[in-house]
Amino acid sequence: MGDFGRRYELLEAQGEKAVSRWNHPRQPEWLTAQAREAGIGDFDIVGKSGLSAENPAAGPGIWIVFKKVAA
């Protein structure tokens, strides 16, 4: 088991609240809300969370992809 698994096991031992606090900022909805709050209007969210990314090029996690603006 890697570092990720060990850290997650420690969180699980601390209870459901600890797991929820850890998972919350790793959700696409959270990242979308943060980007909008920051005034970023043109972006895509890639991946889901954890190791379930839709795009294999993104790897694990969720990612914000900014649109390139022509100069």
List, for residues 1-37, the tens digit of each pLDDT value.
Answer: 567 677 778 888 898 888 888 777 778 888 899 999 9
Mean pLDDT of the region 48-63: 60
Q: Which residues pair with 44 in a beta bridge?
A: 65
pTM over 0.85: no
Query: SS3 breakdown of the chain: % helix, strand, coil, rounded to 5?
Result: 45, 10, 40
Tell me if 36 is assigned to some domain.
yes
pLDDT score of 60 more than 50? yes
Nearest Cα to Cα of residue 60 among 24, 25, 33, 26? 26
Tell me if 10 is assigned to some domain.
yes
Contact 55, 46 (CB under 8 A): yes
Q: Report the number of distinct structural domains present in the chain.
A: 1
Contact 47, 62 (CB under 8 A): yes
Tell me if 71 is assigned to some domain.
no
Domain ranges, residue 38: 3-66
